[in-house]
A and B are shown apart, each in its own frame.
Chain A
């Protein structure tokens, strides 16, 4: 069974009186351990697809399965649990919480999962050390560079050991050097067996990807392996 299975997936948004289609019938399978790049022009529906795969949005028609569960049929509460336990989000703008320390940012998904405090702390420290920020545990994310912030965000995405990492242009806001660092980290994660789907505009960042999926106008264009 593939980790992700998308069949005849359609999504449209209502704008005034009109239904505006964004996804027009997507068929797609992602196996465990893949590192997939999702590319295409702005407005082609990449982010919408990511949101549906991550349980933030619901399909209008068709199915999106994660580990065999139909995401469109789950309750809001179950979707929240899927996001918490199965998905690790990495955003272009990092989306860390500036008022709390890096350590607590990484702990947050585990706090939501109600893991014991000791376990949370140990794992958060471990993860931050793994991305090279063991010396920045109690700093606020606001005191970090962009590349460092994205590394904290990656540590947070890994907190509950998710089965799928969804990265939405993770290098979009970074300089050349940081971009390199993040791509190397993503590659390492993939080599450790993690499944990653990454939206990107930059062909350079796809060098480690096992597959690039092109999307145009709400459809998958081609799938060169």
Chain B
């Protein structure tokens, strides 16, 4: 039997038995939808994160006190339990003097309760040295950025200024910050508001920026230590070497203390790795539903072969070979797979658009996810058809005809 005639016969069968075609394709359609949609969402997450790590952040190195448990890349191995390192201005100087370092910004971060005209919200307070932060300076939308001589002055993020309170915060307004235990507070005058979406990786959306001097007084702790020192390298191509150099310099005075020096590129890479894993894990979940769908197809085809036993007997009696019958039923499965995969891909694209819109998750339909959906859909369905097709091919025509 010619392939073209087989195809025609299969399509005629679909038309004559739409219910069967629909029932068996449903599982595959759902499987392909989940593969395409989950891959798209995974790809979107991946792309979204890649985009946020804009180029200028790739020359950053972060120095942090460590837990001493030996976690993460770049952290010194912990042979004995170590105390976390405590960084102060001496360390900033050391880091600044390492060859290849353009600038070092010490940061101190704390949670605080922000009060404005009687409303409260929790916020992240970042203490910094204003002269180092040209990137934030450029991001000021209204007012001005902090200067070294500011004391009780604050710059707030766009979200804090416009989304957290009934009344927007503008330069000139007074805000009050309560420390964590809420028995101390400090009043600040807002001098500037940042642009929307301007959030360097070391800050947060809900950030309030003040000087180290103000931070020290606000926290009222005996020793004032930095949470991190962010280092900008002169050459972004050499950040990893530079990170090693900085670590060596610091080890002179923090011999038995835990800290880690991590280039942003390293963190970026391990993050991409995790995201890539998430993406394929999502696709794997889609794959499982596809396999379940394929088992459904296999079942429906087994039923079909049983239902059409006498038809298969007739086909053989009038001259169909085992090869003809096998190919016919494999083609049946393959066509079901193809049609359902195409339907599944179209619906999958729609679903990922919808999910992206409703849940506000970035999503991105790629050629890769569409191709994966198509190939797996057709392949798995055809494989699911092998067993039923063989059963049909080896049917004894006499038994099949008697079975009426």
- Using a CB–CB cutoff of 8 Å, the interface residues on chain A facing chain B are 51, 54, 56-57, 76-77, 80-81, 83-85, 89, 91, 93, 95-100, 104, 108-109, 111-114, 156, 160
Q: Is the CB of A76 within 8 A of B319?
A: no
In the complex, how many residues of chain B place their beta carbon closer than 8 angstroms to a beta carbon of chain A? 26
- Using a CB–CB cutoff of 8 Å, the interface residues on chain B facing chain A are 1-2, 5, 9, 12-13, 16-17, 310-311, 313-324, 397-398, 401, 404
Q: Is the CB of B317 within 8 A of A104?
A: no
Residue of B nearest to A85 (CB): B319
Report Cα–Cα, A38/B366, bound state, in Å. Answer: 69
* Across-interface contacts of A114 in B (CB, < 8 A): 1-2, 5
Q: Is the CB of B317 within 8 A of A83?
A: yes
Nearest chain B CB to A184 CB, angstrom units: 24
Q: Is the CB of A80 within 8 A of B314?
A: no
With A56-B397, A57-B398 given, is the CB distance from A80 to B2 under 8 Å? no
Q: Is the CB of A89 within 8 A of B16?
A: no
Nearest chain B CB to A69 CB, angstrom units: 15
Q: Is the CB of B12 within 8 A of A99?
A: yes
11 residue pairs bridging A and B, Cβ less than 8 Å apart: A56-B317, A80-B322, A81-B319, A91-B401, A95-B317, A98-B16, A100-B9, A100-B16, A111-B1, A113-B319, A114-B2
Q: Is the CB of B319 within 8 A of A112?
A: yes
Q: Is the CB of B398 within 8 A of A83?
A: no
Residue of A nearest to B319 (CB): A84
List 7 additional A-B contacts (Cβ < 8 Å) besides A80-B316, A98-B16, A112-B319.
A56-B317, A56-B397, A81-B319, A109-B319, A111-B9, A112-B318, A114-B5
* Across-interface contacts of A100 in B (CB, < 8 A): 9, 12, 16
Number of CB contacts from chain A to chain B under 8 A: 68
Q: Is the CB of A109 within 8 A of B322?
A: no
With A85-B319, A156-B318 given, is the CB distance from A56 to B12 under 8 Å? no
Q: Is the CB of B16 within 8 A of A108?
A: no
* Across-interface contacts of A96 in B (CB, < 8 A): 314
Nearest chain B CB to A205 CB, angstrom units: 21
Residue of B nearest to A160 (CB): B319
* Across-interface contacts of A97 in B (CB, < 8 A): 311, 314
Residue of A nearest to B404 (CB): A93
* Across-interface contacts of B317 in A (CB, < 8 A): 54, 56, 83, 89, 95
Q: Is the CB of A112 within 8 A of B16?
A: no
Nearest chain A CB to B285 CB, angstrom units: 37
Report Cα–Cα, A99/B17, bound state, in Å. Answer: 8
Q: Is the CB of B401 within 8 A of A95?
A: yes
Nearest chain B CB to A58 CB, angstrom units: 11
Which of A83, A84, A95: most chain B Cβ within 10 A?
A95
Residue of A nearest to B397 (CB): A56
